[in-house]
Amino acid sequence: MLRPRLNPCCYYPCQNSGVCVRFDADRYECDCTGTGFHGENCSVPEFWTRVGLMLKPNPSVVDFFLTHFNWFWDFVNNSFLRDMLMEVVLKVRTNLIPSPPTYNSKYGYLNWEYFYNLSYYTRILPPVPQDCPLPMGTKGKAVLPDPKVLAERFFKRTKFRPDPQGANLMLVFMAQHFTHQFFKTDHKTGSSFTKALGHGVESGNIYGDNLMRQLQLRLHKDGKLKHQLVNGEMYPPTVSEVPVHMVYPEGIPPEQRLAIGQETFGMLPGLTMYATIWLREHNRVCDILKAEHPTWDDEQLFQTTRLIIIGETIRIIIEEYVQQLSGYLLKLKFDPPMLFNSPFQYSNRIALEFCQLYHWHPLMPDSFQIGGGQNSHEIVLKVAEMVIRESRATRVQPFNEYRKKFNLKPYTSFYEFTDDLEMARGLEELYGDIDALEFYPGIVLEKTRANGIFGESMVEMGAPFSLKGLLGNPICSPEYWKPSTFGGETGFSIVKTATLKKLVCLNTKWCPYVDFHVPRNEEEAKPRKPSTEL
C-alpha cells in the first residue's frame, strides 16, 4: 500500500517568521519577504539583520538591567532619557504583533473572508496542518497526555507561593475586570470565536458588549448610567430594575442581583468593587462635562464620557498595572504622541494565543480558593484542563514555535525548560520531545525569572500583545488624541492625569491605601481622607 507523502510544512521548516507554502505533495517554499532573512528556510540573515543580531542583547540580560541598578533608573526616570527609552520599548514590543491580522483557527493562510469576520479570534501562528502525522507536527507522541493528568501532576497547588514582586488582590481583580471586555470566548459557537467584537479596550465590561445592554444600563439623562443609592452611596442597580442577564448562584433573587456591564461580574466581590467604582467615575465625569457644556444632550455627554473612561483605563493599565507586572525600574509612560512619527496601525484584533496566555489563576491566594506550575487551587484545575482542550481543538502550534516567533531561543530539553527535576522527567515521559510541548503548559510551567512573577515567555509574549492592544486604540491616534475629543482641556486632563488612587479616592468617602502592590511599610498602609486635589 502506498502511503501518502508527508506535508513538509508539518516540520515547521521556515524560520524567522518565514511562511511555508506547500506546492506538490512533498514540496514547499518559504516566503522570506520582509523577514530580513533569505535562503531555503529563511535562515540566512541579510547584512543589516546580521548587524542587528550581533548588537541585540539577550532578553535575560535586558530584564536583569531593567530590574536592577536603582541609582541609574532614578536618573533616567527624571530626564529626557525616559521618553527615549519608552519609545524604544513601545516600538520593539508592538512590532512583534502583525497588523492587519493574519490567521485564524479555520484558515492557515491569508484570505479576505477571515479579515472582515470579526467574530474570530486572530492567530499569531497558523494552526498545525490537519494532515500532520502527529498532534504537534512531526515530534512527540502519537497521543497527547490527558489534560486532567497534566493538571493534577503539574498545575495543582501543594503550597501557595506569593508573588515575589508583591502584587496584591487589587491587581488580580483589575486583571480579571479589565481583560473580560475583550476575552469573551463564544463557547456556543466554538473556542475560536469571540463575542467581544470590539477586540480591544472599549469598556464593554462597564457598558455592556452590545447596544441593547448598553441602552438598558443607561439612565438616558445627562449621559449617566442607572444606579441606586444605598446609605447615600452609589451602586449598580438591581436586575429587578434593569432586567439584563446576570450570572449568579441559583437562589439569588433579582432584587439582590446587581446589573453590571459584564454578566459574570456579580460572582466575585473584587469584580463588583471595580464595577461600582467605574460606575461612580462615569457619572462623576458626566457631571463635570455637563457643567462645562450645558447645551450638550444625553448622547454626547455619554459618548464623550465613555472616551474619557477608555483613556483613564489605558493610562492606569500602562503606568501602574503593566508597571507592577513588569517589575521594571524604568517608569513606564502613556504618551501616544511618542508613536506619531512612526508607521503604526491604530487597530487591534485579539489573538487566541493571548486569550489562552492570560489564564492567570495561580495568582489567587488560597483564601479565595482560586488558583499554574503546581500553584493552581484544585477547585480551578478544570480551567487549565479547559484551556488545554481548547488549544488542541484549535490546533495551536507547539510552545517552542512561539518562542521562535517572539525571537526567543527554543528550549532544547525539558531540563533546560524547568528547574524542577521531577517535573522535567514527568513532562518528558508524557510528551516525549520538548518540541511537542503544548503552548499553555509551556507558558505556565516554564521556570520563573529570578524574583519574578512569570517566566521569560509569559513576559516576552504577553507584553507585545498588551501594548499593541492598548496603543492601537483609536483614542491614541493623531486624529483622536486632542482636547476636543474629550470635551476640552478639562476632560483631556482627566485622561492625562488618571491614576488608580484618583479613581478610588475620588469615588469613595475615605481614601484607603490604593496600589497594585502590598504596602511596603506601616505608613503606606494608613488610611487617609479623600482629597479634592487628587
Predicted local confidence at residue 139, as pLDDT: 96
From 300, 295, 439, select the one nearest 359 (Cα to Cα). 439
Alpha helices (H) along 414-488: 414-417, 421-431, 439-445, 456-471
Is residue 125 within 8 A of residue 401, CB to CB? The reply is yes
| Measured distance CA(14)–CA(240) in Å, rounded | 58
Specify whether the backbone of 143 is left (phi greater than 0), alpha (psi in -120 to 50) or beta. Answer: beta
| Measured distance CA(14)–CA(20) in Å, rounded | 6
Q: Alpha-carbon Rg of the chain, whole angstroms? A: 24
User: What is the pTM for the complete model shown?
Assistant: 0.92
Q: Which residues contact residue 20 at a Cβ distance below 8 angstroms, ignoring those fewer than 6 apart? A: 8, 9, 12, 13, 14, 28, 29, 30
Predicted local confidence at residue 498, as pLDDT: 97
Predicted local confidence at residue 511, as pLDDT: 85
Q: pLDDT tens track of the chain, all 534 residues? A: 445 578 999 999 999 999 999 998 889 999 999 999 999 999 999 999 999 999 988 999 999 999 999 999 999 999 999 999 999 999 999 999 998 889 999 999 999 988 888 899 999 999 999 999 999 999 999 999 999 999 999 988 888 777 888 888 899 999 999 999 988 888 888 889 888 878 899 999 999 989 999 999 999 999 999 999 999 999 999 999 999 999 998 889 999 999 999 999 998 899 999 999 999 999 999 999 999 999 999 999 999 999 999 999 999 999 999 999 999 999 999 999 999 988 888 888 999 999 999 888 777 777 554 734 777 777 778 888 999 999 999 999 999 999 999 999 999 999 999 999 999 999 999 999 999 999 999 999 999 988 888 899 999 999 999 999 999 999 999 999 999 999 999 999 999 999 999 999 999 988 889 999 988 876 666 666 655 544
Start-to-end Cα distance in the chain: 78
**Phi then psi dihedrals of residue 517, to 5 deg:** -125, 145
Catalytic residues, by residue number, are 180, 358
